Structure 1
Amino acid sequence: MGKIIISENVSLDGVVQDPTGEEGFRHGGWFLRMGDKDREAWAELELDEALRAEALLLGRRSDEWFAARWLSRSGAWADRLNSLPKYVVSSTLQEPEWSNSTVLRGDVVDEVSKLKQELDGDIVVYASRQLVHTLMEHGLVDELRLIVHPVVLGAGDRLFGETSDKSPMRLVDIRTVGDSLAFLTYQPVRDGWT
């Protein structure tokens, strides 16, 4: 059975909006402000995650964003990301942009539940904030991996929006990445608070 892994870069206050500054958000570009040591350690962590992944699960906009940046790259990390099977959740997309992609057109909860049954290993979700909200709301997330950047933005779209109920989490790992990034791993508590 597959595991849905949410892997996100977030600000200290949980903002995920416009990390590279390409969307015009007034606080955009926060991701690019890390130092060389942090960037190298972050890239090693991301490569390791990609090498352990079975597949990627993305929303339409994330598929387009990643495809525009990764298809032309080479090297171990790019080769791995480009070769991984990708599943893109969309009701409007006809042809996915990124290589090795399949569009999941039906009900998101049903389609992702089937995908978890069909695949073994980690199914990693990058970006795709709206998809993350849906997966969290329906209890389909098995693990959260958050790389916390040491910046408070005070505004912007956050990883987690309103939910219908609480979602208790258990911290299972914490590491420092480079000099100033925190890598937090959480798993949902399925049977209430512990």
Structure 2
Amino acid sequence: MGRIVISTNVTLDGVSQDPTGEEGSSVGGWFLEISEGDRAAWAALEHEEAKNTAAYLVGGRSYEWFATRWVGREGEWAAVLNGTPKYVVRSHAGRSDWGPTTVLDGDLEAAVKDLKSRTAGDIVVYASYQLVESLLAYGLVDEIRLVVFPSVNGGGGRLFDSARARLSLRETRPLGTSLVYLNYDVEVAA
């Protein structure tokens, strides 16, 4: 049985919006404000996670963003990411050329439950904060992995805007010199 794992980057105040500043928001660009050493530590963590991922579940905009950066890229990390099955939840048509891709449509809760039943291993959700809200509301999330960036934005789209969940700490550790890795199990409501 698969496990839904939310894995994303956030600022200290929980903002996940516009990490690279490409959306042109007033809160964007915080991902780019770390040192090269921190970026290398972050990349090593993400590469290792990719090697242990059975599938990706992402929203349409996140799929487009990642596909733009990884389709045609070379190297071991790219080969792993590009070869891993992707499941996309989207409201309109979009590209589907980032390796093996399946569009999930219809009843999201039923589709994700079916995906979990057919997958052995971690089904990782990158970015996609609207999808994260829905998955938490349906009680489908098993684990949350966050890399916290040393930035307080004071506003912007947050990973957990209205979602609620009880969490149990699994691991915390420094990553590089200014990032923090947090890993939580999501407790099942009684």
TM-score range, shorter chain: over 0.9
How far the C-alpha of 1:97 sits from its partner, in A, is 4.0
- State TM-score, norm by structure 2: 0.96
Q: Does structure 1 retain, via aligned residues, the 8 Å contact 2:64–2:95?
A: no
Deviations 1:7-40 (A, max 9, x none): 0100000000100000011121100111011111
Q: Secondary structure at the match of 1:66?
A: helix
1:105 equivalent to 2:105? Answer yes
Q: Does structure 2 retain, via aligned residues, the 8 Å contact 1:58–1:131?
A: yes
Structure 1 vs Structure 2 CA RMSD: 1.2
1:77/1:42 CA distance change after superposition, 3 Å: same
Q: Secondary structure at the match of 2:113?
A: helix
Q: What is the aligned partner in structure 2 of residue 156 from structure 1? A: 156
Q: What is the aligned partner in structure 2 of residue 178 from structure 1? A: 176
- The aligned amino acid for 1:20 is T
- State TM-score, norm by structure 1: 0.94
Runs of 4+ in 1 over 4 A off after TM superposition: none
Q: Does structure 1 retain, via aligned residues, the 8 Å contact 2:83–2:99?
A: yes
How far the C-alpha of 1:190 sits from its partner, in A, is 1.5
1:159/1:72 CA distance change after superposition, 3 Å: same
Figure out how many residues of one structure are paired with residues of the other and give that number.
190
Alignment gaps of 5+ in structure 1? none
| Seq. identity, % | 52
Q: What is the aligned partner in structure 2 of residue 11 from structure 1? A: 11
How far the C-alpha of 1:91 sits from its partner, in A, is 3.9
Q: What is the aligned partner in structure 2 of residue 142 from structure 1? A: 142
Q: What is the aligned partner in structure 2 of residue 38 from structure 1? A: 38
Q: Does structure 1 retain, via aligned residues, the 8 Å contact 2:64–2:94?
A: no
Q: State the alpha-carbon separation in 1 of the partners of residues 42 and 120 from structure 2.
A: 26
Alignment gaps of 5+ in structure 2? none
Q: Secondary structure at the match of 1:14?
A: coil
Q: State the alpha-carbon separation in 1 of the partners of residues 109 and 80 from structure 2.
A: 27
Q: What is the aligned partner in structure 2 of residue 90 from structure 1? A: 90
Q: What is the aligned partner in structure 2 of residue 167 from structure 1? A: 165
Q: Does structure 2 retain, via aligned residues, the 8 Å contact 1:91–1:106?
A: no
Q: Secondary structure at the match of 1:186?
A: strand
